[in-house]
Amino acid sequence: MDASCEPTNANTGQPGNLWTTAAPWGLMVFLAIVGLSVSISFVLRMEAEFDYVYRQAGLDLAQGKDFYSTDQYVYPPFAAWLAIPLANLAPLPARLIWLAINLIACWLLIHCAWQIARGGKLLGLRFELREHLIFWCGLGSGFFYLLNAVNHTQTDIVIGALVMAGCLAISRGKSMTAAVCFGLASAFKCTPLLWMVYFVWRGRIVPALTVAVVFLGVNLLPNLAASDPDGGWWLQFWSQRYLSGVTKRTAEVGAWHTFPRYNQSLNGAVHRLFFVDPVWTDSGLHEVSRERPVDRQVVKFVVLGSEVALALGCLVIMGRFWRRNFGEFSYEAPGLRDGLDCSIICILMLLLSPMSGKAHFSLLVLPGFCLARLAIIEKNRPLAVILALSVPLIVSGRLSLGGLGLYAMWWGNVTCHAVLLLAGCLLALRQMRTRADWAAFTSLPSSNVPEPRQHAA
């Protein structure tokens, strides 16, 4: 075989060794095995939330019934309206269509995250082996959460793909496109509305308003099928039934329509700490309400204040929009700055939400890619340590021996993982602000990165 046809090292141009030959094939085989496994599980599972939550809600809406009556579907009405076409199909064709949508969304989520993190080529004749190392290290941050999202057969991967597409649009200077993506994502579940705060902080008022307009607009569409039991808007009906309950001063922080251990947001951690006691028996973990819980209003006030302080602290480190320059670099400088910004907002979405299950944390793929790139290419030891410390947190939730996985979830292993990555992203931004060689720090080599945007003085 001619040497020019062999895999080559992008730095030297010399024919690749066994590792450079096996890396792309290993990636393709791995993705094929995982894709086939989750597809079989998706189609053959006996009970799927897609069926008894979304398809049933779509069927009830099409028949003019109250699809919130059973408390199975507790989300804004938009997803129920979208499920109407699938609700009228037989179960198998409906699942196959929903499987295809989820697989496409999963690919889009990973692809966009890799682009935002300035990822290079992974397949083809010319690629860098270290790009594969970065990919695997970063993918590990969200891979098991992606599998969990597929197993739940909900809309979490679709939401993640929309959020990641919006982040990619931000990195390319397309704020309005990003706003539409975030608005659609929030129409399924409300937490992407946090991007409105980011846009306002950056001085982008019109995109911030666009997020809200899209969210409200698409959630009015279900009234085209039927009105709520009182003849009004489904969005208002949902808000009064569920959203108002969470915002009451007397509501327990982190209480939601699930077992407390599954809520891995900061609110869920507070709920387990102050309002629920774990009872360990031979049959597993049981959670019972505490007989003398702490005053709900006091806890709610303290938690809300702490979360606002956390969000403001992150925004300050990210940089104020009215300051063009931060020492040696400009906010508009190309590189991983946008990726770290988006990573921080994605993590805040998960931590500050009233309820974040494991399936929601697939967004951690993005900070995983960004931190892995900085740790490997820049040889950044603190970030490498952070990625290493996240490994036992990820693995602990997968252990079934002796109920270790339940122990890990009760003590918030997923929450701690997100907090650890948030600390890594904030540390990386602080390092960027103090390093004199900003241009060298952000101009990381990549074979498919678009030219930097030009900005007027």
pLDDT at 240: 86
pLDDT digits (tens, 9 = 90+) for 348-403: 999 999 888 888 999 999 999 999 999 998 888 999 999 999 988 888 777 655 56
- For residue 322, which amino acid is it? W
235: CB partners within 8 A, 6+ apart: 76, 77, 216, 219, 220, 222
CB atoms inside a 10 Å sphere around CB 235: 22
Q: What is the mean pLDDT of residues 65-84?
A: 90
pLDDT digits (tens, 9 = 90+) for 135-158: 989 998 888 899 888 888 889 999
Residue 339 token pair? 């990726």
User: Is residue 178 pLDDT above 70, yes or no?
Assistant: yes
d(CA 204, CA 199): 5
The domain locations on the chain are 17-46+90-204+248-442
Q: What is the mean pLDDT of residues 38-45?
A: 84
In degrees and rounded to multiples of 5, residue 127 shows phi and psi of -155, 165
pLDDT digits (tens, 9 = 90+) for 218-266: 999 999 988 888 888 999 999 888 877 676 766 777 677 777 888 899 9
Distance of CA 312 to the CA centre of its chain: 20
d(CA 45, CA 43): 6
Least confident segment among 3-12, 31-40, 389-398, 423-432: 3-12
If pLDDT is split at 50, 70 and 90, which confidence band does 326 have? very low
Buried b (16+ CB within 10 A) or exposed e, 328-364: ebebebbbbbbbbbbbbbbbbbbbbbbbbbbbbbbbb
